[in-house]
Structure 1
Amino acid sequence: MFSIDIYKERRQLLKKTVGSGLILLLGNEEVGMNYRDNTYHFRQDSTFLYFFGLDKPGLAALVNVDEDVEILLGNEPTIDDIVWMGTQPSVSDTAALTGIHQVDALSALETLVKKSFAKGQTVHYLPPYRAQAVIKLSEIFGISYAEVQERASVKLIKAVVAQRSYKSAQEVSEINKAVLVSNEMHLAAIRYSKEGRTEKYVAGILEGMALSAGGNIAYPVIYTVNGQTLHNHPTQNQLKKGQLILCDCGAETAMHYAGDLTRTFPVEQKFTALQKEVYEIVLKAEEAAVDALKPGIRFLDVHHLACEQLVDGLKQLGLMKGDAQEAVSQGAHALFFQCGLGHMMGLDVHDMEDLGEQYVGYSDDLVKSKEFGLKSLRLGRELEAGFVLTVEPGLYFIPELMDMWQAQGKLKDFINYDKLAAFRDFGGARIEDNFLITENGYQLLGEPLIKSVADIEALGRI
């Protein structure tokens, strides 16, 4: 945890921004993996962590803005809890860690909320992303599961986004820790990528490194020879010399702040000539996008800049033609770059995504696009000092997509369909780094991680 004062100040600002009513924040519960007592690794809700810092299951909190009262709700440990898990703190002791002095049993939650209703208070809650929370809110409010999502408080969503978007010095320090561990994971991924090993073998090493550093993985490891599939997780595929690996992995610290990096590299040590050409197109696009980062620029415009750089490179490969800016405006680049350039990052690797991408990555004046190639851009708004984000251009050669567009003759003024056959088995390439937006520009988080062809080829294999 950070200091008690940090959590108290965060809650005070939240109360001031929301203005009135009762704020209900649910912590996460344990979830059974294949039976009740064999649970998945527990992960606390990130917003609950942000305002309370309490990393244990079975908690909820009520913040009565009108009466300036904060209540932590939980169940006192039983003797069975102590037998199986050791000495456990009381709910009061847990609450004291975050500066709360009023506690109640978790079973009292529904009664307390209904009392607020009876007083005419508005009850604010965030959109739930777990079935347990949907059920609980449905029971408390006496509404259908569908209505639970519909009635989530937009005022509370916007208030949370307004706080969590700007990372404090303490948060940046935690993210730096996560990125440094992520760096080591990627160096290991390159070193261990030798013929005969499986994707799962290498991915297991990477996951173990995150755990050994005291935290966990920030998201399931992506380590694959099929990099054309954007989120393709490791399989029992045996690596072969000359294949191109796309590795997207990141560590999460013990306080749950994330790192998120991607590197693309060959099995063994040498890129083929074509792999090198494609890789350097992606690298040039990333460098151009990074150079454009600064407060006041729309990330949507940085995304378009990177797309134009990719088109220029694809023209040199003979895959595209015509004016790069026009090709991007028509969406022709999306045959090869289907996702967005980046996203916010913090306590969630896709920060606050559960609150809605429109609220987190866009604004009242900028609506998220529904077009292919833009609908997956999670961040479009103007950048501000304190934002932490990823920059991750890529090129993905998806045979089914290429076949579909070719059959339709789609955007043929920009695409040389007769040249695509040579890339059907190429896979994909992505390069990703993490940045803090500063008052005057940007700061790379973590230490620089190798990404030039020469440096990747020079790194020894184990």
Structure 2
Amino acid sequence: MFEKEVYIKRRQSLKSLMNNGIALFVGNVESPMNYPDNTYHWRQDSDFLYFFGIDLPGLAGLIDFNSGDETVFGNDFTVDDIVWMGPQPTVAELASLAGVGLTHPMAKLADMVHEALDEGREIHFLPPYRAETKMTLGALLRENPCQMRTRASEQLIRSVVSLRSIKEDVEIAEIEKAEDITCEMQTTAMRMCKPGVTEQEIYGVLQGIAFSHGAGPSFPIILSINGQTLHNHVHVNVLREGRMMV
């Protein structure tokens, strides 16, 4: 997480581009693999991270372009959570790290959104890509969840794109760190690329390098001797003399 001034400046910049209504940023939730407590690798929504910086599930952010209010919604950890995870910060403490002074339990979000709807205010949101987010937006906006992508705010999309297209110094520093990790992964793959080695063996080592740096790959690694098949995620082949690995 960056210094809170970074997030304050980003939200102020967004306010300067948007002149009416409220922007709703729904953070991601955990996505179960086969039962609720066994989840896929965690990844926060990038736009929620950009404006609010909190890398935890079950949160939402709201920016009111008329009043200027900024609010983070989320539920504090319970005793049941703390038994498994140890002491945890409150939502208010987390929000303060991003320079946000207003927080409410998640249940309050529906009340505020419904009040805005009843007043005829415009509610801006970005196109959702997860089913859980579509369902949440559908419930909040009293709309069919399947229509959430087409109902997204073009003005907010253009505003966010204009901000995120210009990288800040702190972002460039993180990009350079990622480049160093990528270089290590690439050169490791080159050294391991020998006849008799399996794609899976190289793939596993590259995954390990990414996670050993506390990052993980940004997308599933594409590694195959069948490079003619784009986005090939099958790693069962054995490298052979004369074949090229992509």
| TM exceeding 0.5 | yes
The equivalent of 1:61 in structure 2 is: 61
Aligned to 1:214: 214
Amino acid in structure 1 at the alignment position of 2:126: L
Instruction: Give 1:179 shift.
Output: 0.7
Could you say which residue in structure 2 is the equivalent of 1:394? Answer: none
Any idea what the Cα deviations from partners look like across 1:71-112, whole Å, max 9, x if unmatched?
A: 100001101111111211111111111011111011111111
2:134 aligned partner: 134
For residue 57 of structure 2, what is the amino acid of its counterpart?
Answer: P
Largest Rg, 1 or 2: 1
Counterpart for residue 26 of structure 2:
26
Partner of 1:195: 195
> Does the 8 Å contact 2:25/2:125 carry over to 1?
yes
Deviation at 1:150, TM superposition (A): 1.7
Aligned to 2:84: 84
Partner of 2:110: 110
2:29–2:57 Cα contact (<8 Å) kept = yes
In structure 2, what residue type is equivalent to 1:106? Answer: M
Structure 2 partner of 1:244: 244
In the alignment, is the contact (CA less than 8 A) between 2:75 and 2:105 conserved in 1? yes
- Which residue of structure 2 aligns with residue 5 of structure 1? 5
Give the deviation of 1:58 after TM superposition: 0.7
Counterpart amino acid of residue 51 in structure 2:
F
- Secondary structure in structure 2 of the residue aligned to 1:24: strand
Structure 1 letter corresponding to 2:213: A
SS at match of 1:62: strand
Distance between the aligned counterparts of 1:218 and 1:102, measured in 2?
32
What is aligned with 2:235?
A: 235
- AA in 1 matched with 2:197: R
The secondary structure found in structure 1 opposite 2:148 is helix
Partner of 1:149: 149
Q: Assess if the C-alpha contact under 8 Å between 1:203 and 1:234 holds in 2.
A: no
Following the alignment from structure 2 to structure 1, what is the Cα–Cα distance between the partners of residues 142 and 121? Answer: 16
Residue type matched to 1:47 in 2? D
- Residue 161 of structure 1 deviates from its aligned partner by 0.2
In structure 1, what residue type is equivalent to 2:48? F
Structure 1 residue 194, shift from structure 2 partner: 1.5
Give CA deviations for 1:96-131 in whole Å, capped at 9, x if unaligned. 110111110111111110111223311101110000
Look up the match of 2:93.
93
CA-CA distance at 1:195 after TM superposition: 1.5
Question: 1:190, 1:234 → 2: CA distance?
Answer: 19
Q: Deviations over 1:187-225 (max 9, x none)?
A: 000101122111011000001001111211111111100
Residues of 2 paired with 1:217 and 1:147: CA distance? 31
Unaligned ranges ≥5, structure 1: 247-462
State the superposition RMSD in angstroms: 0.9
SS in 2 for 1:33: strand
Q: 1:179 to 1:212 in 2, by over 3 A?
A: same
Q: Which runs of 5+ in 2 are unaligned?
A: none
**Match of 2:99, SS?**
coil
**Alignment TM-score, normalising by the size of structure 1:** 0.52
In the alignment, the residues of structure 1 paired with residue 99 and residue 79 of structure 2 have an alpha-carbon distance, to the nearest angstrom, of 27
Aligned residues: 246
Runs of at least 4 residues of structure 1 off by over 3 A? none
- How far apart, in 2, do the equivalents of 1:188 and 1:234 lie? 19
SS of 2:28's partner is coil
TM-score normalised by length of structure 2 = 0.98
Q: Is the 1:221–1:234 Cα contact (8 Å) retained in structure 2?
A: no
